[in-house]
């Protein structure tokens, strides 16, 4: 009786909660009204059985039996309503059969209540209930077979729930008919058995809008409920195994039980915190319980939140990778954005290897992503490359481990970049729904990234504006200094007595005046004054090396070209670039050191100048992400404009600048310039810098 009380009490609570939810969600549909009626009658049946279990009175037992008949009739009405759209003569016989069974059940109960032969009446009641279960199974089978195969997905949970409940009834009353009485244990858990099928009924209600029940089963609730149920079943199995080991393990029983229990908890923790296991469960539930793979409202809110609020340890690029990866259960990937040289380089990576490759904007991959906006499935490409007509994948993709999807990022019909996602944690099929979601999500992510790039460009422009404003102030100060020096020179020439010291002073002042005027003119015009000329590189470096030796460092020059290497450049600007690199090498060794300069030809038609120091060095991420940008410097007093200006000028004359550095071991800066062929340049003779 205690088991029956708890069982029917739990069933009454479940029916009550489901009934209230159905009542709020009902919008007047016929099928929904029939279902709501069945739930209400079932609640009354559970309450009556609870009362009969607590107080074994004949009147309460008769009431519970009559409510059982009403409950069975209610389910018949609901099934007939669902069978009606199938049409034909199949609708008449279920009504007649259901009515006959209900009448037989009612008559047998009245015979038991007011008749004299209790044994015969009990068998009649059990036989009528057995007929109820058989007819219910027949109606469920007719409903499932009568529905087209494409529509069975919506009613499959309902058929499974009713089939299971009618099978339980069939076993209960078949056993009772054989032995002339009902099994009390089966009757005690009957309420729980019928309450357990309610979630399946609710799931079918969500899949059938024609029932006009505004219901939705939350994916998060389904996921967490399933995970909780699976965890509970797992713990029950572990507990049962532990008790078995304890009672049959002899002296080692308790020790083995504790060991098994600890190992079970440890394994459960590993499974619960495993991203791959959670991904498999989520994919399984989405595939088998819902008509659509995603709950778009939740997914869109999560995706927007991930882009709008960047976490403390993730930048915007990593947040974009993570947000897109979460849509397809990918653990990470890399983000490739367009740089100033119209190439796509890896800007961010999350749980993915770093790659230093660069993809030209005119490559077949970038053109394919820009024109078609397809999400490239690399697994599909390897098996069926003809689907991606004209696409040739670059070699660097083979270097990236577990590359899976390539998602274009387009904003305002402009390819901002693309994301390469790694293989998913669990098997994940790419269908039209996934592709549509990824295409929509990538546009929003691209808009965020485009705004980020625009903000960076605006910030850089503002920094240049500030720098130009500062330059104007410098020019103004230089003008005042030049005016003062000019006046001093005039006064000295007018009032001096021509001693040698004064002559040297005047000569020095004149030299400084000339340099300051040249600097002022360059700052005002922002261009080189002299035209490009054929410059002898060894002679120019000899002058630059003397400037470095003044600071107390040993500067050596090794010329593998025998002093014959010449390039077409602006002498003063190239001298300033080389002087900047030598000065950086000297500054990297505050206590003195050695700077080695080497001139060589790496290949025909090219002249390279390598400047190597054994100073403090630079970290790899600074060289990759910040060194080429303006206003980025590792020196406290540095402005961070020298390397940027050097790269810009070298690019203008067809050269390049590269760095190879390691913290604590020094830096190697290498300039590569196109060599000038003697006699091929008209206008301007070769300039030597022996006397600079």
pLDDT single digits (tens) 222-237: 656 666 677 767 777 7
Among residues 4, 447, 321, the alpha carbon closest in space to that of 188 is found at: 4
What is the secondary structure of 600-666 as a DSSP string? E-SSTTEEEEEEEE-SS---HHHHHHTTTSTT--SSTT--S-HHHHHHHHHHHTT-EEEEEEETTTE
Integer angstrom CA distances of residue 76 from 79, 95, 134, 148: 5, 8, 12, 21
d(CA 539, CA 102): 113
Which of 30-39, 517-526, 642-651 has the highest mean predicted lDDT (pLDDT)?
30-39
What is the average per-residue pLDDT within 286-301? 62
Q: How far is CA 458 from CA 257, 308, 472, 643, in A?
A: 67, 20, 21, 20
Give which of 535, 580, 465 is closest to 684, Cα–Cα.
535
Residue 37, SS3 per DSSP: helix
The pLDDT of 192-198, averaged and rounded, is: 87
Phi then psi for 592, rounded to 5 degrees? 90, 160
Digit-coded pLDDT (tens) for 144-160: 888 777 677 788 888 88
Tell me which of 633 and 528 has the higher pLDDT.
633
Q: Which long-range contacts (CB under 8 A, 24 or more apart) does 410-416 make?
A: 410/369, 410/370, 410/373, 410/442, 410/443, 410/446, 411/443, 411/446, 411/447, 411/449, 411/450, 412/450, 414/450, 415/338, 415/361, 415/366, 415/369, 415/370, 416/337, 416/338, 416/446, 416/449, 416/450, 416/453
Name which of 201-210, 285-294, 570-579 the model is least confident about.
285-294
Q: Is the dihedral of CA 115, 117, 120, 122 positive or negative?
A: positive
Asked if 437 and 477 touch (Cβ cutoff 8 Å), the reply is no
Q: Strand 533-536 vs strand 566-569: parallel, antiparallel, or unpaired?
A: antiparallel
219-228, 422-431, 439-448, 625-634: which range is least confident on average? 219-228
Residue 684 has pLDDT above 50, yes or no: no
Least confident range of 103-107, 240-244, 525-529: 525-529
d(CA 18, CA 202): 8
- Measured from the Cβ of residue 651, the count of other Cβ atoms closer than 10 Å reads 13
CATH architecture of the domain formed by 2-217: Up-down Bundle (1.20)
What's the confidence (pLDDT) of residue 335? 93
Does the structure show a pLDDT above 90 at 317?
A: no
CA 523-525-531 angle, to 5 degrees, is 105
Higher pLDDT: 429 or 344? It is 344
Rounded Cα distance, 371 and 367, in Å: 6
Cβ neighbours, 10 Å, residue 340: 11
Mean pLDDT in residue range 680-689: 41
At residue 528, the pLDDT reads 43
**Does the fold of domain 533-674 match that of domain 300-451?**
no
Residues near 557 by Cβ (< 8 Å), separated by ≥ 6? 538, 541, 542, 545, 597, 598, 599
Segment (H or E) for 348:
strand 343-350
Name the residue with higher pLDDT: 102 or 494.
102
Q: Dihedral, CA atoms, 510, 515, 520, 521, nearest 10 degrees?
A: 100
CB atoms within 10 A of CB 684: 12
The pLDDT of residue 362 is 87
Query: What pLDDT band is residue 529 in, cutting at 50, 70 and 90?
Result: very low
Mean pLDDT of the region 541-560 = 71
Q: What is the CATH number of domain 533-674?
A: 3.30.565.10
H or E stretch covering 275: helix 275-289
pLDDT (average), residues 93-117: 79
Q: How far apart are CA 301 and CA 320, in angstroms?
A: 14
Angle at 527 between CA 521 and CA 530, to 5 degrees: 80
Is the model more confident about 311 or about 48?
A: 48
Q: Which CATH class is domain 300-451?
A: alpha beta
d(CA 401, CA 397): 8
User: Which residues lie across from 37 on neighbouring strands?
Assistant: none
Lowest mean pLDDT among 173-187, 383-397, 492-506: 492-506
Region of poorest pLDDT, from 189-198, 330-339, 624-633: 624-633
Q: DSSP character for 181?
A: S
> How far is residue 612's CA from residue 594's CA, in Å, rounded to a whole number?
8
Q: What percent of the chain has pLDDT over 70?
A: 72
* Distance separating alpha carbons of residues 619 and 607, to the nearest angstrom: 27
Residue 334, pLDDT score: 92
Domain edges within the chain: 2-217, 226-289, 300-451, 533-674
Kindly compute the dihedral angle of the four CA atoms of residues 425, 428, 433, 435, in this order, to the nearest 10 degrees.
Answer: 70
Secondary structure element (H or E) that encloses residue 160, with its range: helix 152-179
Nearest alpha carbon to residue 506 among 516, 493, 519: 493
Query: Cα(first)–Cα(last) distance of the chain, in Å?
Result: 111
Taking residues 242-267, what's their average pLDDT? 69
Give the C-alpha separation, 278 to 271, whole Å: 8
Who contacts 427 (Cβ-Cβ below 8 Å, separation ≥6)?
Answer: 280, 283
Q: From the centroid of its chain, how far is CA 442?
A: 11
Are 130 and 177 contacting, i.e. CB atoms less than 8 angstroms apart?
Answer: yes
**Closest to 86 measured CA to CA, from 132, 39, 148, 138:** 148
Mean pLDDT of all residues belonging to the chain: 77
Phi, then psi, of 101 in degrees rounded to 5: -65, -45
Q: What is the pLDDT of residue 515?
A: 59
Is 108 within 8 Å of 125 (Cβ atoms)? yes
- Kindly state the average pLDDT of the residues 561-590: 81
In angstroms, rounded to a whole number, what is the distance separating the alpha carbons of residues 483 and 474? Answer: 14
What is residue 405's predicted lDDT score, i.e. its pLDDT? 92
Of 388-402, 493-507, 618-632, the poorest mean pLDDT is in 493-507
Return the percentage of the chain with pLDDT > 90, whole number.
5
Provide the angle, in degrees to the nearest 10, between the axes of the packed helices 152-179 and 118-146: 160
- Whether residue 254 has pLDDT greater than 90: no
User: E strand or H helix at 24, and its extent?
Assistant: helix 2-25
Radius of gyration of the chain (CA): 43
Q: Which residue has the higher pLDDT, 650 or 468?
A: 650
pLDDT at 689: 36
Neighbours of 36 (CB within 10 A): 20
Higher pLDDT pick, 119 / 571: 571
């Amino acid at each position: 009786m205690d088991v029956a009380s708890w069982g029917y009490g739990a069933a009454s609570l479940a029916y009550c909660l489901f009934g209230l939810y159905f009542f709020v969600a009902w919008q007047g549909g016929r099928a929904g009204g029939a279902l709501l009626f069945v739930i209400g009658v079932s609640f009354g049946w559970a309450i009556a059985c609870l009362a009969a279990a607590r107080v074994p009175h004949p009147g309460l037992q008769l009431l519970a039996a009559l409510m059982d008949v009403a409950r069975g009739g209610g389910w018949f009405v609901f099934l007939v309503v669902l069978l009606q759209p199938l049409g034909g003569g199949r609708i008449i016989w279920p009504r007649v059969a259901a009515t006959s069974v209900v009448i037989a059940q009612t008559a047998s109960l009245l015979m038991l209540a007011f008749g004299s032969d209790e044994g015969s009446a009990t068998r009649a009641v059990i036989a009528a209930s057995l007929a109820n279960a058989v007819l219910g199974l027949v109606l469920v089978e007719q409903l499932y077979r009568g529905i087209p195969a494409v529509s069975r997905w919506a009613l499959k949970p309902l058929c499974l729930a009713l089939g299971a409940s009618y099978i339980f009834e069939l076993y209960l009353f078949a056993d009772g008919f054989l032995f002339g009485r009902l099994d009390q244990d089966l009757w005690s858990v009957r309420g729980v058995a019928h309450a357990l099928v309610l979630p399946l009924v609710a799931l079918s209600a969500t899949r059938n809008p024609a029932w006009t029940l505004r219901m939705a089963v939350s994916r998060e609730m389904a996921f967490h409920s399933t995970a909780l149920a699976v965890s509970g079943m797992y713990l029950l199995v572990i507990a049962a195994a532990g008790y078995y080991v304890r009672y049959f393990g002899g002296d080692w029983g308790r020790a083995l039980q504790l060991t098994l229990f600890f190992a079970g908890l440890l394994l459960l923790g590993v499974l619960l915190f495993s991203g791959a296991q959670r991904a498999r469960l989520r994919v399984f539930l989405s595939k088998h319980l819902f008509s659509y793979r995603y709950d778009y409202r939740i997914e869109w809110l999560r995706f927007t939140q991930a882009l709008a609020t960047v976490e403390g340890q993730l930048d915007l690029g990593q947040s974009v990778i993570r947000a897109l990866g979460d849509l397809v259960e990918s653990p990470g990937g890399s983000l490739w954005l367009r740089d100033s040289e119209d190439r796509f380089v890896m800007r961010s990576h999350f749980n993915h290897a770093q790659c230093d490759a660069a993809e030209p904007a005119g490559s077949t991959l970038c053109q394919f992503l820009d024109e078609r906006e397809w999400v490239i499935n690399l697994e599909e490409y390897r098996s069926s490359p003809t689907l991606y007509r004209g696409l040739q994948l670059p070699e660097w993709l083979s270097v990236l481990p577990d590359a899976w999807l390539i998602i274009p990022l387009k904003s305002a019909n402009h390819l901002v970049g693309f994301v390469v996602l790694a293989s998913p944690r669990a098997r994940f099929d790419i269908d039209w729904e996934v592709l549509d979601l990824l295409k929509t999500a990538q546009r929003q992510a691209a808009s965020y990234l485009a705004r980020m790039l625009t903000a960076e460009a605006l910030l850089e422009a503002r920094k240049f504006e500030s720098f130009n404003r500062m330059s104007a102030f410098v020019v103004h100060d230089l003008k005042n200094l030049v005016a003062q020096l000019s006046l001093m020179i005039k006064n000295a020439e007018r009032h001096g007595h021509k001693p040698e010291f004064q002559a040297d002073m005047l000569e020095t002042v004149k030299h400084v005046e000339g340099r300051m005027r040249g600097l002022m003119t360059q700052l005002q015009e922002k261009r080189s004054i002299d035209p490009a000329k054929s410059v002898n590189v060894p002679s120019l470096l000899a002058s630059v090396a003397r400037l470095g030796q003044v600071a107390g460092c040993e500067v050596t020059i090794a010329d593998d070209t025998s002093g014959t290497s010449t390039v077409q450049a602006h002498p003063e600007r190239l001298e300033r670039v080389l002087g900047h690199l030598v000065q950086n090498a000297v500054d990297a060794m505050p206590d003195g050191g050695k700077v080695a300069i080497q001139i060589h030809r790496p290949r025909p038609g090219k002249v390279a100048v390598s400047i190597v120091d054994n100073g403090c060095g630079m970290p790899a991420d600074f060289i990759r992400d910040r060194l080429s940008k303006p206003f980025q410097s590792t020196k406290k007093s540095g402005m961070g404009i020298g390397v940027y200006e050097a790269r810009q000028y070298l690019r203008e004359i067809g050269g390049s600048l590269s760095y190879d550095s390691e913290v604590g071991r020094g830096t190697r800066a290498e300039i590569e310039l196109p060599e000038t062929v003697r006699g091929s340049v008209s206008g301007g003779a070769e300039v030597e810098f022996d006397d600079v």
